[in-house]
Structure 1
Protein backbone atom coordinates (compact mmCIF):
# COMPACT_ATOMS: atom_id res chain seq x y z
CA UNK A 1 0.00 0.00 0.00
CA UNK A 2 1.40 3.43 -0.95
CA UNK A 3 2.06 5.96 1.80
CA UNK A 4 -0.50 8.45 0.44
CA UNK A 5 -3.23 5.79 0.33
CA UNK A 6 -2.34 4.60 3.84
CA UNK A 7 -2.60 8.16 5.16
CA UNK A 8 -6.01 8.64 3.51
CA UNK A 9 -7.35 5.40 4.94
CA UNK A 10 -5.86 6.12 8.38
CA UNK A 11 -7.43 9.60 8.38
CA UNK A 12 -10.80 8.19 7.31
CA UNK A 13 -10.66 5.51 10.03
CA UNK A 14 -9.99 8.17 12.68
CA UNK A 15 -12.86 10.30 11.34
CA UNK A 16 -15.23 7.31 11.41
CA UNK A 17 -14.25 6.48 14.99
CA UNK A 18 -14.65 10.14 15.99
CA UNK A 19 -18.12 10.35 14.45
CA UNK A 20 -19.18 7.10 16.14
CA UNK A 21 -18.07 8.46 19.54
CA UNK A 22 -19.76 11.82 18.90
CA UNK A 23 -23.00 10.14 17.86
CA UNK A 24 -23.03 7.89 20.95
CA UNK A 25 -22.45 10.79 23.36
CA UNK A 26 -25.10 12.90 21.62
CA UNK A 27 -27.67 10.10 21.81
CA UNK A 28 -26.83 9.48 25.46
CA UNK A 29 -27.77 13.06 26.31
CA UNK A 30 -30.72 13.40 23.92
CA UNK A 31 -32.11 9.96 23.13
CA UNK A 32 -34.60 11.22 20.50
CA UNK A 33 -32.05 13.18 18.44
CA UNK A 34 -32.33 12.46 14.73
CA UNK A 35 -29.59 11.22 12.41
CA UNK A 36 -29.84 14.53 10.52
CA UNK A 37 -29.29 16.58 13.68
CA UNK A 38 -26.27 14.46 14.60
CA UNK A 39 -24.85 14.85 11.10
CA UNK A 40 -25.35 18.61 11.11
CA UNK A 41 -23.70 18.98 14.50
CA UNK A 42 -20.73 16.85 13.44
CA UNK A 43 -20.24 18.83 10.24
CA UNK A 44 -20.25 22.15 12.13
CA UNK A 45 -17.36 20.90 14.22
CA UNK A 46 -15.49 19.45 11.23
CA UNK A 47 -15.90 22.67 9.23
CA UNK A 48 -14.63 24.77 12.15
CA UNK A 49 -11.64 22.44 12.48
CA UNK A 50 -10.91 22.65 8.76
CA UNK A 51 -10.89 26.45 8.63
CA UNK A 52 -9.01 26.81 11.90
CA UNK A 53 -11.61 28.28 14.26
CA UNK A 54 -10.31 27.76 17.79
CA UNK A 55 -11.31 30.67 20.06
CA UNK A 56 -14.30 32.99 20.31
CA UNK A 57 -13.70 36.47 21.78
CA UNK A 58 -16.57 37.90 23.82
CA UNK A 59 -16.92 41.67 23.44
CA UNK A 60 -19.69 44.28 23.73
CA UNK A 61 -21.89 44.50 20.64
CA UNK A 62 -20.78 47.26 18.29
CA UNK A 63 -17.27 47.44 19.71
CA UNK A 64 -14.16 46.07 17.98
CA UNK A 65 -12.60 42.80 19.14
CA UNK A 66 -9.84 43.50 21.68
CA UNK A 67 -7.37 41.06 23.20
CA UNK A 68 -5.35 41.42 26.41
CA UNK A 69 -2.39 39.65 28.02
CA UNK A 70 -4.46 39.36 31.20
CA UNK A 71 -7.76 38.22 29.67
CA UNK A 72 -10.03 35.61 31.22
CA UNK A 73 -10.04 32.40 29.17
CA UNK A 74 -13.17 30.26 29.50
CA UNK A 75 -13.29 26.69 28.31
CA UNK A 76 -15.95 23.98 28.41
CA UNK A 77 -14.80 20.55 27.28
CA UNK A 78 -16.51 17.21 27.04
CA UNK A 79 -14.03 14.68 25.68
CA UNK A 80 -13.18 15.84 22.11
CA UNK A 81 -15.83 18.61 22.12
CA UNK A 82 -14.97 22.06 23.44
CA UNK A 83 -15.80 25.75 23.34
CA UNK A 84 -12.96 28.18 24.07
CA UNK A 85 -13.74 31.86 24.77
CA UNK A 86 -11.74 34.90 25.85
CA UNK A 87 -13.16 37.81 27.89
CA UNK A 88 -11.46 41.03 28.94
CA UNK A 89 -10.75 40.97 32.71
CA UNK A 90 -13.10 43.82 33.59
CA UNK A 91 -14.95 42.83 36.77
CA UNK A 92 -17.74 45.32 36.13
CA UNK A 93 -18.28 43.95 32.62
CA UNK A 94 -18.13 40.36 33.87
CA UNK A 95 -20.77 41.10 36.53
CA UNK A 96 -22.97 42.63 33.82
CA UNK A 97 -22.60 39.48 31.70
CA UNK A 98 -23.59 37.39 34.73
CA UNK A 99 -26.74 39.51 35.12
CA UNK A 100 -27.50 38.97 31.43
CA UNK A 101 -27.77 35.21 32.04
CA UNK A 102 -30.27 35.78 34.84
CA UNK A 103 -32.55 37.35 32.21
CA UNK A 104 -31.77 34.71 29.57
CA UNK A 105 -32.70 31.92 31.98
CA UNK A 106 -36.30 33.07 31.74
CA UNK A 107 -36.31 31.58 28.23
CA UNK A 108 -35.34 28.12 29.50
CA UNK A 109 -37.94 25.56 30.64
CA UNK A 110 -38.98 26.16 34.27
CA UNK A 111 -36.68 24.43 36.76
CA UNK A 112 -36.25 24.28 40.52
CA UNK A 113 -32.50 23.98 40.02
CA UNK A 114 -31.24 26.79 37.80
CA UNK A 115 -27.65 25.53 37.92
CA UNK A 116 -28.65 22.08 36.69
CA UNK A 117 -30.77 23.55 33.89
CA UNK A 118 -27.91 25.87 32.88
CA UNK A 119 -25.50 22.94 32.69
CA UNK A 120 -28.06 20.99 30.63
CA UNK A 121 -28.37 23.97 28.27
CA UNK A 122 -24.58 24.12 27.83
CA UNK A 123 -24.32 20.39 27.19
CA UNK A 124 -27.03 20.48 24.52
CA UNK A 125 -25.47 23.41 22.66
CA UNK A 126 -21.96 21.96 23.00
CA UNK A 127 -23.12 18.65 21.51
CA UNK A 128 -24.77 20.55 18.67
CA UNK A 129 -21.52 22.52 18.11
CA UNK A 130 -23.85 25.51 18.20
CA UNK A 131 -20.99 27.89 19.04
CA UNK A 132 -19.64 27.32 15.53
CA UNK A 133 -22.66 29.07 13.98
CA UNK A 134 -21.39 32.55 14.84
CA UNK A 135 -20.56 33.74 11.32
CA UNK A 136 -21.27 37.51 11.17
CA UNK A 137 -23.95 37.13 8.46
CA UNK A 138 -26.06 34.82 10.66
CA UNK A 139 -26.32 37.24 13.60
CA UNK A 140 -26.35 34.07 15.70
CA UNK A 141 -24.44 34.83 18.89
CA UNK A 142 -24.49 31.30 20.24
CA UNK A 143 -20.88 31.33 21.43
CA UNK A 144 -21.48 34.53 23.39
CA UNK A 145 -24.62 33.07 24.98
CA UNK A 146 -22.69 29.94 26.02
CA UNK A 147 -19.91 32.08 27.51
CA UNK A 148 -22.55 34.07 29.41
CA UNK A 149 -23.98 30.87 30.91
CA UNK A 150 -20.49 29.61 31.80
CA UNK A 151 -19.60 32.88 33.53
CA UNK A 152 -22.84 32.78 35.53
CA UNK A 153 -22.06 29.27 36.77
CA UNK A 154 -18.52 30.27 37.72
CA UNK A 155 -19.33 33.63 39.32
CA UNK A 156 -22.24 32.31 41.39
CA UNK A 157 -20.46 29.10 42.42
CA UNK A 158 -18.20 28.07 45.31
CA UNK A 159 -15.01 29.37 43.65
CA UNK A 160 -16.31 32.91 43.11
CA UNK A 161 -14.05 34.61 45.66
CA UNK A 162 -11.02 32.79 44.32
CA UNK A 163 -11.92 33.83 40.78
CA UNK A 164 -12.32 37.49 41.71
CA UNK A 165 -9.02 37.49 43.59
CA UNK A 166 -7.31 35.74 40.66
CA UNK A 167 -8.64 38.25 38.13
CA UNK A 168 -7.46 41.21 40.18
CA UNK A 169 -4.05 39.65 40.71
CA UNK A 170 -3.69 38.63 37.06
CA UNK A 171 -4.58 42.11 35.84
CA UNK A 172 -1.87 43.63 38.06
CA UNK A 173 0.67 40.99 37.07
CA UNK A 174 -0.18 41.06 33.36
CA UNK A 175 -1.00 37.38 32.84
CA UNK A 176 -4.21 35.59 31.90
CA UNK A 177 -6.57 33.52 34.04
CA UNK A 178 -8.09 30.25 32.81
CA UNK A 179 -11.43 28.82 33.94
CA UNK A 180 -12.26 25.36 32.67
CA UNK A 181 -15.31 23.14 32.98
CA UNK A 182 -14.21 19.57 32.28
CA UNK A 183 -17.26 17.33 31.87
CA UNK A 184 -17.04 13.54 32.02
CA UNK A 185 -19.59 10.73 31.98
CA UNK A 186 -20.57 8.98 35.20
CA UNK A 187 -22.60 5.82 35.84
CA UNK A 188 -26.17 7.07 35.93
CA UNK A 189 -28.85 6.59 38.55
CA UNK A 190 -32.09 4.93 37.48
CA UNK A 191 -33.97 7.37 35.25
CA UNK A 192 -31.06 9.83 35.03
CA UNK A 193 -27.89 10.50 33.08
CA UNK A 194 -25.03 11.63 35.31
CA UNK A 195 -22.11 13.91 34.45
CA UNK A 196 -19.23 15.15 36.55
CA UNK A 197 -18.55 18.87 36.06
CA UNK A 198 -15.00 19.51 37.24
CA UNK A 199 -13.96 23.16 37.61
CA UNK A 200 -10.32 24.08 37.09
CA UNK A 201 -9.12 27.59 37.95
CA UNK A 202 -5.60 28.30 36.74
CA UNK A 203 -5.07 31.47 38.70
CA UNK A 204 -1.40 32.24 38.28
CA UNK A 205 1.46 32.22 35.81
CA UNK A 206 3.21 29.38 37.65
CA UNK A 207 0.54 26.81 36.75
CA UNK A 208 -1.10 26.66 40.21
CA UNK A 209 -4.65 25.30 39.96
CA UNK A 210 -7.73 25.33 42.20
CA UNK A 211 -10.30 22.58 41.63
CA UNK A 212 -13.97 22.02 42.36
CA UNK A 213 -16.45 19.37 41.27
CA UNK A 214 -20.23 19.06 40.83
CA UNK A 215 -22.44 16.13 39.80
CA UNK A 216 -25.15 17.03 37.29
CA UNK A 217 -28.14 14.72 36.82
CA UNK A 218 -30.23 14.87 33.66
CA UNK A 219 -33.56 13.10 33.30
Structure 2
Protein backbone atom coordinates (compact mmCIF):
# COMPACT_ATOMS: atom_id res chain seq x y z
CA UNK A 1 0.00 0.00 0.00
CA UNK A 2 1.32 3.44 -0.88
CA UNK A 3 2.29 5.80 1.90
CA UNK A 4 -0.01 8.75 1.60
CA UNK A 5 1.25 12.24 2.22
CA UNK A 6 0.39 12.92 5.83
CA UNK A 7 0.61 9.32 7.07
CA UNK A 8 3.48 10.45 9.27
CA UNK A 9 1.19 13.07 10.75
CA UNK A 10 -0.96 10.49 12.46
CA UNK A 11 -0.66 9.37 16.01
CA UNK A 12 -2.26 6.90 18.38
CA UNK A 13 -4.66 8.03 21.08
CA UNK A 14 -5.27 5.91 24.18
CA UNK A 15 -8.41 6.52 26.22
CA UNK A 16 -8.60 4.68 29.53
CA UNK A 17 -11.03 4.91 32.39
CA UNK A 18 -13.52 3.06 34.55
CA UNK A 19 -16.79 1.43 33.47
CA UNK A 20 -19.50 3.81 32.29
CA UNK A 21 -17.23 6.82 31.75
CA UNK A 22 -18.39 7.05 28.11
CA UNK A 23 -15.06 5.94 26.67
CA UNK A 24 -16.37 4.05 23.65
CA UNK A 25 -18.80 6.78 22.54
CA UNK A 26 -16.13 9.44 22.97
CA UNK A 27 -13.39 7.38 21.32
CA UNK A 28 -15.59 6.60 18.32
CA UNK A 29 -16.54 10.25 17.78
CA UNK A 30 -12.95 11.48 18.25
CA UNK A 31 -11.79 8.96 15.64
CA UNK A 32 -14.54 10.16 13.28
CA UNK A 33 -13.50 13.79 13.63
CA UNK A 34 -9.81 13.05 13.09
CA UNK A 35 -10.37 10.48 10.32
CA UNK A 36 -8.78 7.78 12.51
CA UNK A 37 -9.72 4.16 13.12
CA UNK A 38 -11.53 3.39 16.39
CA UNK A 39 -10.73 0.12 18.15
CA UNK A 40 -13.10 -0.92 20.92
CA UNK A 41 -11.03 -3.23 23.12
CA UNK A 42 -13.96 -3.74 25.50
CA UNK A 43 -15.88 -5.37 22.63
CA UNK A 44 -12.99 -7.81 22.19
CA UNK A 45 -13.12 -8.83 25.87
CA UNK A 46 -16.89 -9.12 25.63
CA UNK A 47 -16.50 -11.38 22.58
CA UNK A 48 -14.25 -13.75 24.54
CA UNK A 49 -16.72 -13.68 27.46
CA UNK A 50 -19.65 -14.56 25.19
CA UNK A 51 -17.76 -17.48 23.63
CA UNK A 52 -16.67 -18.75 27.05
CA UNK A 53 -20.26 -18.61 28.32
CA UNK A 54 -21.47 -20.49 25.26
CA UNK A 55 -18.77 -23.13 25.68
CA UNK A 56 -19.42 -23.49 29.40
CA UNK A 57 -15.88 -22.33 30.25
CA UNK A 58 -15.53 -20.30 33.42
CA UNK A 59 -12.98 -17.59 34.25
CA UNK A 60 -11.50 -20.07 36.76
CA UNK A 61 -10.43 -22.51 34.02
CA UNK A 62 -7.23 -20.93 32.65
CA UNK A 63 -6.20 -23.84 30.40
CA UNK A 64 -9.56 -24.09 28.67
CA UNK A 65 -9.76 -20.31 28.42
CA UNK A 66 -6.28 -20.19 26.89
CA UNK A 67 -7.34 -22.68 24.20
CA UNK A 68 -10.59 -20.80 23.56
CA UNK A 69 -8.98 -17.34 23.30
CA UNK A 70 -6.37 -18.56 20.82
CA UNK A 71 -9.02 -20.20 18.63
CA UNK A 72 -11.02 -17.02 18.11
CA UNK A 73 -10.82 -14.74 15.16
CA UNK A 74 -12.25 -11.43 16.32
CA UNK A 75 -12.96 -8.78 13.70
CA UNK A 76 -14.19 -5.27 14.25
CA UNK A 77 -15.62 -3.46 11.27
CA UNK A 78 -16.91 0.10 11.15
CA UNK A 79 -20.65 0.17 10.55
CA UNK A 80 -23.43 2.75 10.27
CA UNK A 81 -24.14 2.75 14.00
CA UNK A 82 -20.70 2.33 15.47
CA UNK A 83 -18.93 -0.94 14.97
CA UNK A 84 -19.91 -4.44 14.04
CA UNK A 85 -18.15 -7.22 15.91
CA UNK A 86 -17.59 -10.67 14.39
CA UNK A 87 -16.33 -13.86 16.04
CA UNK A 88 -15.14 -16.46 13.52
CA UNK A 89 -17.39 -14.82 10.94
CA UNK A 90 -20.55 -14.61 13.08
CA UNK A 91 -21.87 -11.15 13.87
CA UNK A 92 -22.26 -10.77 17.64
CA UNK A 93 -22.54 -6.98 17.99
CA UNK A 94 -25.72 -6.95 20.07
CA UNK A 95 -25.12 -10.31 21.80
CA UNK A 96 -21.95 -9.06 23.51
CA UNK A 97 -23.89 -6.18 25.10
CA UNK A 98 -26.19 -8.49 27.05
CA UNK A 99 -26.45 -8.17 30.80
CA UNK A 100 -24.99 -11.68 31.28
CA UNK A 101 -21.83 -10.62 29.44
CA UNK A 102 -21.67 -7.23 31.18
CA UNK A 103 -21.76 -8.81 34.63
CA UNK A 104 -19.03 -11.34 33.79
CA UNK A 105 -16.60 -9.50 31.51
CA UNK A 106 -14.35 -8.16 34.32
CA UNK A 107 -13.64 -11.73 35.48
CA UNK A 108 -12.59 -12.90 32.01
CA UNK A 109 -10.64 -9.69 31.37
CA UNK A 110 -8.55 -10.45 34.46
CA UNK A 111 -7.19 -13.62 32.83
CA UNK A 112 -3.53 -13.32 31.83
CA UNK A 113 -3.77 -15.37 28.62
CA UNK A 114 -6.86 -13.52 27.42
CA UNK A 115 -5.08 -10.19 27.95
CA UNK A 116 -1.94 -11.42 26.25
CA UNK A 117 -3.78 -12.75 23.17
CA UNK A 118 -5.97 -9.66 22.80
CA UNK A 119 -3.12 -7.26 23.63
CA UNK A 120 -1.08 -8.68 20.75
CA UNK A 121 -4.08 -8.27 18.41
CA UNK A 122 -4.56 -4.69 19.59
CA UNK A 123 -0.89 -3.72 19.08
CA UNK A 124 -0.97 -5.13 15.55
CA UNK A 125 -4.04 -3.02 14.78
CA UNK A 126 -2.30 0.12 16.07
CA UNK A 127 1.03 -0.43 14.32
CA UNK A 128 0.14 1.81 11.38
CA UNK A 129 -0.84 4.78 13.59
CA UNK A 130 -4.02 6.81 13.32
CA UNK A 131 -5.84 4.75 15.91
CA UNK A 132 -8.07 5.69 18.84
CA UNK A 133 -8.23 2.83 21.33
CA UNK A 134 -10.15 2.70 24.57
CA UNK A 135 -10.00 0.34 27.51
CA UNK A 136 -8.63 -0.05 31.02
CA UNK A 137 -4.89 -0.41 30.37
CA UNK A 138 -4.23 1.01 26.90
CA UNK A 139 -1.93 3.86 27.92
CA UNK A 140 -0.24 1.88 30.68
CA UNK A 141 0.18 -1.49 29.00
CA UNK A 142 -1.17 -2.05 25.47
CA UNK A 143 0.11 1.14 23.81
CA UNK A 144 2.59 2.66 26.27
CA UNK A 145 4.03 4.73 23.39
CA UNK A 146 0.70 6.32 22.39
CA UNK A 147 1.35 9.98 21.68
CA UNK A 148 -1.78 11.11 23.54
CA UNK A 149 -3.17 9.38 26.60
CA UNK A 150 -6.44 10.37 28.21
CA UNK A 151 -7.79 9.05 31.50
CA UNK A 152 -11.51 9.65 31.26
CA UNK A 153 -13.45 9.44 34.48
CA UNK A 154 -16.64 10.62 36.18
CA UNK A 155 -18.26 10.08 39.56
CA UNK A 156 -19.89 6.69 40.23
CA UNK A 157 -23.25 8.47 40.50
CA UNK A 158 -22.84 10.14 37.11
CA UNK A 159 -21.67 6.93 35.44
CA UNK A 160 -24.60 4.97 36.87
CA UNK A 161 -26.97 7.66 35.63
CA UNK A 162 -25.56 7.47 32.09
CA UNK A 163 -25.89 3.69 32.04
CA UNK A 164 -29.39 3.93 33.46
CA UNK A 165 -30.45 6.15 30.56
CA UNK A 166 -28.94 3.71 28.05
CA UNK A 167 -30.68 0.61 29.36
CA UNK A 168 -33.92 -0.36 27.69
CA UNK A 169 -37.09 -0.13 29.82
CA UNK A 170 -37.60 -3.86 29.52
CA UNK A 171 -34.63 -4.54 31.76
CA UNK A 172 -35.68 -4.07 35.32
CA UNK A 173 -32.84 -2.50 37.23
CA UNK A 174 -32.69 0.37 39.66
CA UNK A 175 -30.26 3.24 39.64
CA UNK A 176 -29.00 2.12 43.08
CA UNK A 177 -28.31 -1.36 41.72
CA UNK A 178 -26.33 0.13 38.84
CA UNK A 179 -24.30 2.29 41.23
CA UNK A 180 -23.42 -0.81 43.26
CA UNK A 181 -22.45 -2.77 40.13
CA UNK A 182 -20.30 0.04 38.76
CA UNK A 183 -18.50 0.50 42.07
CA UNK A 184 -17.89 -3.27 42.17
CA UNK A 185 -16.50 -3.25 38.62
CA UNK A 186 -14.16 -0.41 39.59
CA UNK A 187 -12.93 -2.50 42.51
CA UNK A 188 -12.37 -5.59 40.34
CA UNK A 189 -10.65 -3.59 37.59
CA UNK A 190 -8.38 -1.68 39.96
CA UNK A 191 -7.39 -4.64 42.10
CA UNK A 192 -6.65 -7.32 39.53
CA UNK A 193 -3.03 -8.43 39.26
CA UNK A 194 -2.81 -8.40 35.47
CA UNK A 195 -2.90 -4.93 33.88
CA UNK A 196 -5.19 -3.27 36.41
CA UNK A 197 -7.11 -0.09 35.65
CA UNK A 198 -4.50 2.57 36.25
CA UNK A 199 -3.93 6.13 35.15
CA UNK A 200 -0.68 6.26 33.16
CA UNK A 201 1.77 8.79 34.60
CA UNK A 202 1.80 10.77 31.34
CA UNK A 203 -1.99 10.72 30.82
CA UNK A 204 -4.22 13.79 30.82
CA UNK A 205 -6.99 13.27 33.40
CA UNK A 206 -10.37 14.39 32.15
CA UNK A 207 -13.17 14.31 34.71
CA UNK A 208 -16.34 14.39 32.63
CA UNK A 209 -18.77 14.74 35.55
CA UNK A 210 -21.11 17.54 34.48
CA UNK A 211 -19.69 17.71 30.93
CA UNK A 212 -21.68 16.80 27.84
CA UNK A 213 -20.33 14.11 25.50
CA UNK A 214 -19.67 16.82 22.89
CA UNK A 215 -17.61 18.87 25.33
CA UNK A 216 -15.50 15.82 26.14
CA UNK A 217 -14.98 15.03 22.43
CA UNK A 218 -13.97 18.60 21.64
CA UNK A 219 -11.53 18.69 24.57
CA UNK A 220 -9.78 15.53 23.31
CA UNK A 221 -9.73 16.65 19.66
CA UNK A 222 -8.18 19.94 20.78
CA UNK A 223 -5.55 18.12 22.87
CA UNK A 224 -4.68 15.89 19.91
CA UNK A 225 -4.25 18.88 17.57
CA UNK A 226 -2.04 20.64 20.13
CA UNK A 227 0.04 17.44 20.47
CA UNK A 228 0.37 17.21 16.69
CA UNK A 229 1.49 20.82 16.39
CA UNK A 230 4.07 20.30 19.15
CA UNK A 231 5.48 17.25 17.39
CA UNK A 232 6.27 19.22 14.25
TM-score, normalised via structure 1 length = 0.25
Bigger-Rg structure (1/2): 1
Which structure is richer in relative contact order (CA contacts within 8 A, separation 6 or more)? Answer: 2
